[in-house]
Structure 1
Amino acid sequence: MPIAKKTVVTATLLLAIAAAAIWFLNKPISPRLAAPTAIPVRVVQVVQQDVARYTSGIGSVQSLHSVTIRPQVDGILTRLRVKEGQWVKAGDLLATLDDRSIRANLDQARAQLAQNQAQLQVAQINLKRYKLLSVDDGVSKQTYDQQVALVNQLNATAQGNQAAIEATQVQLSYTQIRSPVTGRVGIRTVDEGNFLRVTDTQGLFSVTQIDPIAVEFSLPQQMLPTLQQLIRAPEPAAVQAYLGADSNSPDALLGNGHLTLIDNQINAGTGTIRVKAEFDNAQQKLWPGQLVTVKIQTALDQAALTVPPNVVQRGLDQHFVFRVKGQHVESVPVQVLYQDSGLNIISGVQAGDVLVSDGQSRLKPGSQVQVLSDPPPLVQASEPKP
């Protein structure tokens, strides 16, 4: 075979081998069908139960009776009979003022009354005598009439003396300052020995009622029809007061009360209406001036279908939930009838339905799921005994 022909054949073989190698390396890999992977999720069941509906607001604690104790007569404070922070009852003696001047005036008024009564007694005896003499014209009609006028004058003077005694007795009672309400004594502003005047505006101290106590708060004006229904209800609406916004903690609950009053006008500037509730405060958890979160029960839904808030998803035009059917899920449209931080009341599902509560971001209708169990609670290892 000629050399040139061998060279051509060899080159052709080399090109064929190279082309086969290139085709083999660039050969498309046929796709392999991957087995579907289950998406891990956590689930809850729809629970049917009675649910109380609440509306909340921020309120301030107010005493039902808070009185600043002021003197009603001028005088020296001789003795304070209570201490700061002491609990007193209505009528208890709180302080005494110097009463010597008023007692002297009382004795003087009584002496004037006794003197006038003696003059009145003599005038009445003379009137009887003139009346008998006037029958036989022993005295003139004018003399008799003058004696009648004198008796009436002395009688009126005696009544005036008696009124002066009573007025002085009232002034004397003001020297003993008594508590008008049952409550707690505040911080005092004066000490024994100070001269007190009626015009003093500061007062001695205050007495504030703590139990029962009130909470005043504001709600939107749209709540007015509901509040009016609650006021007219046979049983007062329940109201709860919490410390801060966390109403789920049992330690945050300060007291349970009831609705008592709706203000007679709406604040046009804020569009709110003031409401007042009364609380029993035997444990003194509520304190005047304290800011609290108030929850008022507005309704009670019986046999309501409830789920945790994270179960309900928001779609483009409606809410929906993922319901587990066997190993797959389906999308179910629902209506949210009521919601708060702890639960949602919904319609469109049945009691006992299993709904996805965690892992919805990877789901779509028909997705295969794997239900995860709740993690076991952490148990702290006990320290070795020495």
Structure 2
Amino acid sequence: MGHRSALLRDRGTTVGWCVLLVASVLAFASCTSKGSQPTARKGEGGVPVTVALATQRDVPVQIEVIGNVEAYSTITVKAQVGGAITQVHFREGEFVKAGDLLFTIDTRPLNAMLNEVEANLAKDEAALGQAEANLVRDTAQQKYAQSQADRYGRLFQSGIVSKDQAEQMRSNADALAAGVKADEAAVRSARAAIVATKATVDNARVQLGYTTMRSPIDGRTGNIMVKQGNIVAANTMDLTTINQVEPIYVTFSVPESQLPDIKRYMAVGKLPVLATPQADATAQERGVLTFVDNSVDATTGTIKLKGTFPNTDHKLWPGVFVRVTLRLTTQPNAVVVPNQAVQTGQEGPFVFVVKTDRSVESRPVIIGARVDQDIVIASGIQPGETVVTEGQLRLAPGIKVQIRDASGRPAGKKRG
């Protein structure tokens, strides 16, 4: 019994020490938790926030969309006559000027054809000369025969010659007159043949001219699709394409709701268009709006526009996507704040404004256009007022704030 009582006393002592140890741990944890709570309200005077001043400046009113660069004109070079390509006079991707020689096709078959039709022309001209000579001869004979027939007719009336002689002279004159008419028809036929042959000669010369293909525009050549030595057929093969890139178009679409503003500002003057390649934000090109489509796309509710750019340094390339900024006008003395200062609530956009006593108020605002990292405030904020840009989630009207700089330290404090 004594041994059992001692064992129970030892167990009770152990349990007591365990309870005491748990209580100590809980007390230490409670003290640690209290010591780790933020002291913003007591030690630092409010909720830490980052702020910015509302400023006033001239703000451009503009539309920003994504557009596509389009060649000012695109020419597809085709062979207009068949034959073997004997020479290519440019390199792929090379810039060419209007009139520069591009391809040469074998001229020998067409030269032979031209020589043949020129010989036929000479033959027809000789035939015309012969027909005209026959006409002159037969006309002279007909005139003599006519005079003889008239003279014999008078002699027959006088009874000097017989009727047979007079009629013979008359029939001879009539025959020669018919011969003259035939000669005149032969002359007309020869002249018509010459006209037809001259047309054939002209066509042969045109066909021969097609053997040398020249660039109709200034531009950059593309891939050569038919190499030197290959046979081409007329009007069936694309030999290469040429894109005119000086000037160049940038095509883009804007919502139809923007169309009235665009038309109104276009009536005042030319609207500038800025194009920035997505791969190089520093390569900004400036042009002017030159085209507004004549109808709105009913499926998308947008209207197509085009800006024309000089592109003398070739920074814009056909097919490239660019960021397009269409500048309509400039809004003077606009109040702007950073984008992140504007919050959205159940009643619309609002801004937390820091008052002189470092308390905040929730101010409803009417917002305007976004300009880079700022947004225009149409009403609700005055220039020079301080607005909260970070830390709004912990704020409510009337709460005191502790203004911190961008690094998170209280404003005005230096590093220790």
Q: TM-score range by the shorter chain?
A: 0.7 to 0.9
| SS of residue matched to 2:294 | strand
Which residue does 2:75 correspond to in 1?
67
Structure 1 residues 38 and 208, CA, compared in 2 at 3 Å: closer, same or farther?
same
Which residue does 1:381 correspond to in 2?
none
Which residue does 2:269 correspond to in 1?
235
Letter aligned with residue 338 of structure 1 = A
Q: Deviations 1:348-373 (Å, cap 9, x if unpaired)?
A: 22223332323333333343334334
Matched, 1:267 2:297: yes
User: C-alpha distance in 2, partners of 1:146/1:228?
Assistant: 74
* 1:104 Cα deviation after fit: 1.0
Structure 1 residues 171 and 34, CA, compared in 2 at 3 Å: closer, same or farther?
closer
Q: Deviations 1:247-273 (Å, cap 9, x if unpaired)?
A: xx842x442222222333333333333
* 1:109 Cα deviation after fit: 1.4
* 2:78–2:235 contact (8 Å) kept in structure 1: no
Matched, 1:80 2:116: no
* 1:110 Cα deviation after fit: 1.3
Which residue does 2:373 correspond to in 1?
342
Which residue does 2:247 correspond to in 1?
212
User: C-alpha distance in 1, partners of 2:373/2:328?
Assistant: 17
| SS of residue matched to 1:204 | strand
| SS of residue matched to 2:295 | strand
Matched, 1:368 2:400: yes
Q: Which among 312, 318, 326 is matched to residue 348 of structure 2? A: 318
Matched, 1:359 2:391: yes
Which residue does 2:183 correspond to in 1?
147
Consecutive unaligned residues in structure 1, runs of 5 or more: 1-32, 377-386
Structure 1 residues 144 and 226, CA, compared in 2 at 3 Å: closer, same or farther?
farther
Matches within 5 A, 1:274-289: 274-289=304-319
Matched, 1:39 2:47: yes
Structure 1 residues 145 and 227, CA, compared in 2 at 3 Å: closer, same or farther?
farther
TM-score by length of 2: 0.73
Structure with the higher fraction of residues in helix conformation: 2
Consecutive unaligned residues in structure 2, runs of 5 or more: 1-40, 148-172, 409-416
Q: Identify the range of structure 1 (266-275 vs 281-290) with the bigger mean alpha-carbon deviation.
A: 266-275
| SS of residue matched to 2:275 | strand
* 2:97–2:218 contact (8 Å) kept in structure 1: yes
Which residue does 1:296 correspond to in 2?
326
Higher Rg of the two aligned structures: 2
User: C-alpha distance in 1, partners of 2:369/2:67?
Assistant: 23
Matched, 1:330 2:361: yes
* 1:130 Cα deviation after fit: 5.1
* 1:217–1:274 contact (8 Å) kept in structure 2: yes
Aligned residues: 338
* 1:43–1:355 contact (8 Å) kept in structure 2: yes
Structure 1 residues 97 and 34, CA, compared in 2 at 3 Å: closer, same or farther?
closer
User: C-alpha distance in 2, partners of 1:135/1:340?
Assistant: 101
Letter aligned with residue 278 of structure 1 = T
Letter aligned with residue 277 of structure 2 = L
Structure 1 residues 46 and 135, CA, compared in 2 at 3 Å: closer, same or farther?
farther
* 2:59–2:371 contact (8 Å) kept in structure 1: no
User: C-alpha distance in 2, partners of 1:254/1:186?
Assistant: 25
* 1:207 Cα deviation after fit: 1.7
* 2:110–2:208 contact (8 Å) kept in structure 1: yes
Q: Deviations 1:177-217 (Å, cap 9, x if unpaired)?
A: 1112211121222222111112533x222222222222223
* 1:341 Cα deviation after fit: 4.8
TM-score by length of 1: 0.78
| SS of residue matched to 1:217 | strand
Structure 1 residues 131 and 235, CA, compared in 2 at 3 Å: closer, same or farther?
farther
Structure 1 residues 212 and 34, CA, compared in 2 at 3 Å: closer, same or farther?
closer
User: C-alpha distance in 1, partners of 2:264/2:135?
Assistant: 73
* 1:96 Cα deviation after fit: 0.5
* 1:132 Cα deviation after fit: 5.7
Letter aligned with residue 227 of structure 2 = D
Q: Identify the range of structure 1 (116-125 vs 126-135) with the bigger mean alpha-carbon deviation.
A: 126-135
Letter aligned with residue 217 of structure 1 = F
Matched, 1:166 2:206: no
Which residue does 1:13 correspond to in 2?
none
Which residue does 2:259 correspond to in 1?
224
User: C-alpha distance in 1, partners of 2:264/2:130?
Assistant: 73
* 1:327–1:369 contact (8 Å) kept in structure 2: no
User: C-alpha distance in 2, partners of 1:343/1:275?
Assistant: 27
* 1:96–1:175 contact (8 Å) kept in structure 2: yes
User: C-alpha distance in 1, partners of 2:124/2:53?
Assistant: 95
User: C-alpha distance in 2, partners of 1:165/1:353?
Assistant: 87
Matched, 1:175 2:211: yes
Q: Identify the range of structure 1 (101-110 vs 144-153) with the bigger mean alpha-carbon deviation.
A: 144-153
User: C-alpha distance in 2, partners of 1:83/1:338?
Assistant: 49
User: C-alpha distance in 1, partners of 2:48/2:86?
Assistant: 81
Structure 1 residues 221 and 111, CA, compared in 2 at 3 Å: closer, same or farther?
same
User: C-alpha distance in 1, partners of 2:139/2:60?
Assistant: 88
Cα root mean square deviation, aligned = 2.8
